[in-house]
Amino acid sequence: MAEKIRIKDIAERAGVSVGTVDRVLHDRPNVSEPARKKVEQALKEMNYQPNMYASALAYNKQYTFYMLLPKHESEAYWEEIEEGARKCEDTRRDFHIDVEICFFERSSDESFREKASEIIQAKPEGVVVVPSSLDVTREFTDQLHEQNIPFILLDSYMPDLKPLSFYGQDSFCSGYFAAKMLMMIACRETEIMLMRQTKDGRVMSKQQDNREVGFLHYMHDHYPNVKVTDLDLPLNGTRAEYNKMLEKFFSSNPQVHHCITLTSKAHIVGDFLLKTNRRNIQIMGYDMVEKNARCLREGSISFLIAQHAYMQGYACIDTLFQAIVLKKKVTPVNYMPIELLMKENVDFYRRTQL
C-alpha cells in the first residue's frame, strides 16, 4: 500500500507553512505566486493524489440538483428515470445531495419556459434537462451557462447547447436498428404501419424524430417497395379515441399485419389487438414498462427495444455528483445500449445502474 502523504510532508518538501499548503490544495486566496509554485512542484514530485471523497465529505456542503422531465402517467419510461435518479440521491446521501424533479407539458413551450424559470430562480448546483424544441431549450441553457450552472441533456442530444454531458441512445442508429429487426419478421409484407403520437401533425420529441429518420433510411435502402403508412394518434388523446381510430385503420387496411412505434406507447396498439382478438397483427415498440411487457408476454407486441431508463436516471445524477462535488472530468457523450427484448427474454431484463 502506498504511504499516505500528509500536508506536513508537503510543506516540508516545499519549504512553506502547513497553512499555505492547505490554501493551495483547496484553491483558497492569499497565497503568493512563488509559494504556490513551490507547493505545486512538491505535489508533482511526490505524486500527490487528493482524496476527493474525504474532501467533499469534510466540506459538508448541501447540493441541489434539478431534473426537468415531461409530465407522464404511471408505469412510463420517465418513471424509471425518476427511480434511477432517486436511487443515486440515496446512494450519495452522505454528500448532502438533494434531487428536485419538475415536470413540463411536452406539447407546450410555455410550460417548459415556466418550469425552466423556476429552476433558474432556485439557483441549483446542477440540472438535468429533457429538451423541448431547440430554440426553447436554448433559451434555458443559455441562462444556465450565464450563471455557470452545469447541465446534462437526457433523451435528446443537442451538441450546440454545449452540455456537460449527454445520456441517451444514438437515435438515428436506434431507428435504423428497429427497422432492421422489424423486417426480419415482416420481410414478405407489402405495407407496414408506423404509429406516431403527434400534435398538429408533428412528433414532440427530437429523439423520436431522429429515430424516424433512421427507420425510414433503412426502409428506403433495403425495402423500397414496402409502403410505410403513418397512423397519427393525438398526443393527449383518450383510450376511447385511440380505439376508434385503430378500429377504423385496421378495418380499412386488412393487408397490414406488422406495425411499429418509435415511442414507449406500443401498448396502446397492443391492448387494442388483444381486446379485438386480432391475433394476426403485431406491433414493435420501445421501453420495458409494465404495460408493454404484458402485451409482449401475451403476443400482441413482437419486440421491444430497451433504453435502460433506470440506468440513465442514475447516471445523470451521478455525473453531476462526479463533476460538481468531486470535481472530476466526465464523459461528454454517453450512448446507451440498444437491446432487443422479446417474450422469451423479457423476464430476465434487469435494471442496473452504471
Measured in whole angstroms, the distance separating CA 12 from the mean position of its chain's CA atoms is 49
For residue 290, the SS3 value is helix
Residue 1, pLDDT > 50, answer: no
63-74 pLDDT, tens digit per residue, is 999 999 999 876
Residue 205, pLDDT > 90, answer: no
CA gap 273, 295 in Å, rounded: 9
Do residues 291 and 267 lie in contact, with contact meaning Cβ atoms separated by under 8 Å?
Answer: yes
Stretch among 75-84, 128-137, 283-292, 312-321 having the lowest mean pLDDT:
75-84
Residue 224, pLDDT > 70, answer: yes
Tell me which amino acid residue 348 is. F
The confidence band for 8, taking pLDDT boundaries of 50, 70 and 90, is confident
Q: Name the region of 108 (left: φ>0; alpha: ψ -120 to 50; beta: rest).
A: beta
H-type helices in 60-202, by residue range? Answer: 77-91, 109-122, 134-146, 171-185
Q: Name the region of 216 (left: φ>0; alpha: ψ -120 to 50; beta: rest).
A: alpha
- CA quadruple 227, 233, 239, 243: dihedral positive or negative? negative
CA gap 99, 314 in Å, rounded: 11
The whole-chain average pLDDT of the chain stands at 91
Residue 216, pLDDT > 80, answer: yes
Tell me the average pLDDT across 215-225: 98
Domains of the chain and any CATH numbers: 7-50 (1.10.260.40), 59-169+309-337 (3.40.50.2300), 171-306 (3.40.50.2300)
C-alpha cell read off for 277: 382478438
Tell me the average pLDDT across 224-235: 96
Say what the pLDDT of residue 84 is. Answer: 95
Say what the pLDDT of residue 2 is. Answer: 46
The confidence band for 24, taking pLDDT boundaries of 50, 70 and 90, is confident
pTM, whole model, 2 decimals? 0.81
Q: How many C-beta atoms surround the C-beta of residue 216 within 10 A?
A: 15
Q: How far apart are the first and last CA of the chain?
A: 28
Place of cell 445523470: 316
296-314 pLDDT, tens digit per residue, is 999 999 999 998 999 999 9
